[in-house]
Amino acid sequence: MFKEKNIIIKNPLKADIRFGLVYPNVYKTAMSSLGYQIIYNYINEREDTYSERIIYPSTRSLETNSPLSDFDIVSFSLQYEQDYFHVLEILREADIPLRREDRTSDDPLIIAGGPCASANPLPLSDFIDIFVVGEAEAVLYDFLDMYSSLNLSKRRRKSKNNNGNKINNNGQGIDDDKMDLSPFLDIEGLYISEFNNETNIVLSEDMESIYHLTCPIVTETDDKDFIPAFSNSILLNVSRACTRGCRFCMSSYMYRPLRETNLEDLFSIAEEARENTGLNKISLIGAAVSDYSRINDLTEGLKERGFQVSTPSMRIESITMETLVALKSSGFKTLTIAPESIYSLRRRINKDIKDEEVLRVISDAVELGFN
């Protein structure tokens, strides 16, 4: 069906912690997610942990074809509420008890992260043991350190003896007891469903302290069902959060303050990613890419370095003729803007963009030859 470049292969038998990273939607959607790829690489930088991908509808990993029940930790990436049903379907098909109260220490620890987990963990709190609230880089290593210190993976790993009894790695019998999750209450940014505890959204201090993806997985296929949305592109994270405050936007409120990646760092990240992938196309990623303070310098600099540039969407108010010229010269062919609705409704959702501004951008883009 497809080939992949830059997948990470380790010996799962030598990993202290086996981490199943589940995307509850199809492959092309999963591999279009910068966050999903970041977590995969970020966790695999730990010598004691091996993260493998499990992508709906499969319940086996892409890397070693291991069943979901073999993993010590199963982590769901919750990007969209519509995927919640797939979460339950995956657990059921993997023969893992759906409800957390029915699981024992023999079962994997079920966790979840992503924007939906941060915004409201309650809809899935009967099924998920722990939610990561905020940005993963700010909390995941602390979580894994705690998990390791409690020897939880050794407690739940088991095999069958000749009599069919459960035994642990030392060959001793084990009880179907509950996993004690109370130590995780000490980690800010974790919501433990059992305790219904209060916690705060935890964020990375700046863009220098986040994990930038320089060795992404590249999918090689002609099958349109498996081609990611940003196929053959390097995903470049220019910023996190947004200052605009549109009423419907989680990013504006949950992930503040706005943090921008240093311009020279972006060039270095892009060039390193090109070395690792052979790709020359860049997709700029951020809540409001055109609000990046040096967007013109960025697009011009990427062009000078031989990259083609694109971005999923741009904020209308920050698009100038100079910006459009820079984008066009760096390889942009299409321009996506989002007026959302008529002006009176835009005002209500705090998106005070006048029709004249929308028409100005469209007119300038057409004049420059955008599709």
CATH 3.30.750.210 in the chain, residue ranges: 232-367
Q: Average pLDDT in the 260-273 region?
A: 98
Q: What is the DSSP letter of 179?
A: P
Percent of the chain with pLDDT over 90: 77
CB 91 within 8 A of CB 127: yes
Q: How many helices (H) and strands (E) does the chain have?
A: 12, 15
pLDDT band at 155 (very low <50, low <70, confident <90, very high): low
Instruction: Give burial (CB, 10 Å; 0-12/13-18/19+) of 65.
Output: exposed
* Selection from 332, 325, 257 nearest residue 296 by Cα: 325
* pLDDT above 80: residue 279: yes
CATH 3.40.50 in the chain, residue ranges: 3-192
CATH code for residues 3-192: 3.40.50
* pLDDT above 90: residue 170: no
DSSP 6-32: S-----GGG-SEEEEEEESS-HHHHTT
CB 62 within 8 A of CB 155: no
Chain segment 106-148, per-residue pLDDT in tens: 999 999 999 999 999 999 999 999 999 999 999 999 999 999 9
Give pLDDT, residue 158.
Answer: 54
Gap between the terminal Cα atoms of the chain: 32
Q: Given 3.40.50.720, 3.30.750.210, 3.40.50.150, 3.40.50.1970, which CATH number is that of 232-367?
A: 3.30.750.210
Q: CB neighbours of 300 closer than 8 A, spacing ≥ 6?
A: 326, 329, 330
Q: Average pLDDT in the 20-31 region?
A: 98
CA 76/CA 79 separation, integer angstroms: 9
Q: Average pLDDT in the 326-331 region?
A: 84
**Identity of the amino acid at 279:** L
Q: CB neighbours of 227 closer than 8 A, spacing ≥ 6?
A: 28, 219, 221
Range of weakest confidence among 13-22, 271-280, 317-326: 317-326
Helix (H) or strand (E) holding 235: strand 234-237
Helix (H) or strand (E) holding 250: helix 250-254
Give pLDDT, residue 342.
Answer: 93
pLDDT band at 213 (very low <50, low <70, confident <90, very high): very high
Structure tokens at 149: 């210190």
Q: Average pLDDT in the 10-31 region?
A: 97
Which range has the top average pLDDT, 22-26, 159-163, 288-292?
Answer: 22-26
* Selection from 8, 35, 15 nearest residue 204 by Cα: 35
> Per the confidence metrics, is the pTM higher than 0.85?
yes
